[in-house]
Amino acid sequence: MNRETNDLLERADALARDRLSDKRLGHTTRVAVTAERLARLHSLDPQRTRLAALLHDAAREMDRRDLLRRAEEWRLPLGGPERENPGILHGPVAAELARRSLGVADEEVLEAVRVHTTASPGMSPIALAVYIADKIEPARDYPSVERLRKLADTNLADATREALRRVIAYNEGRGRSIHPESRRALAWLEND
Ligand SMILES: [Fe+2]
Ligand SMILES: [Fe+2]
Distance from the alpha carbon of residue 57 to the mean position of ligand 1, in angstroms: 5
Distance from the alpha carbon of residue 119 to the mean position of ligand 2, in angstroms: 13
Distance from the alpha carbon of residue 41 to the mean position of ligand 1, in angstroms: 23
- For residue 100, what is the DSSP state? I
Average pLDDT of span 130-139: 98
Distance from the alpha carbon of residue 51 to the mean position of ligand 1, in angstroms: 14
Cβ neighbourhood burial of 138 (10 Å; 0-12, 13-18, 19+) = exposed
Distance from the alpha carbon of residue 190 to the mean position of ligand 2, in angstroms: 24
> Where are the alpha helices (H) located in the chain, listed in sequence order?
3-19, 22-41, 46-55, 64-73, 80-84, 90-97, 107-114, 125-136, 145-154, 156-173, 180-191
Distance from the alpha carbon of residue 90 to the mean position of ligand 1, in angstroms: 7
At 3 the pLDDT is 79
Distance from the alpha carbon of residue 86 to the mean position of ligand 1, in angstroms: 12
What does the domain layout of the chain look like in residue ranges? 3-191
Distance from the alpha carbon of residue 56 to the mean position of ligand 2, in angstroms: 6
- List, for residues 54-93, the tens digit of each pLDDT value: 999 999 999 999 999 999 999 999 999 999 999 999 999 9
Looking at all shown ligands, the one closest to residue 117's CA atom is 1
Q: Give the Cα separation of 25 and 145 in Å (integer).
A: 21
3-class SS at 141?
coil
Q: Which CATH number applies to 3-191?
A: 1.10.3210.10
Q: Which sign, positive or negative, has the C-alpha torsion 44, 90, 20, 17? A: positive
Distance from the alpha carbon of residue 60 to the mean position of ligand 1, in angstroms: 6
> Where are the alpha helices (H) located in 64-155, listed in sequence order?
64-73, 80-84, 90-97, 107-114, 125-136, 145-154
Distance from the alpha carbon of residue 190 to the mean position of ligand 1, in angstroms: 23
Q: Give the Cα separation of 131 and 103 in Å (integer).
A: 22
Q: Which sign, positive or negative, has the C-alpha torsion 67, 71, 76, 79? A: positive
Looking at all shown ligands, the one closest to residue 139's CA atom is 2
At 4 the pLDDT is 84
Mean pLDDT score of the chain: 96
Q: Which of 48, 56, 43 is nearest to 132 (CA)?
A: 56
Looking at all shown ligands, the one closest to residue 61's CA atom is 1
Looking at all shown ligands, the one closest to residue 135's CA atom is 2
Q: Which sign, positive or negative, has the C-alpha torsion 136, 54, 154, 160? A: positive
- List, for residues 151-179, the tens digit of each pLDDT value: 999 999 999 999 999 999 999 999 998 99
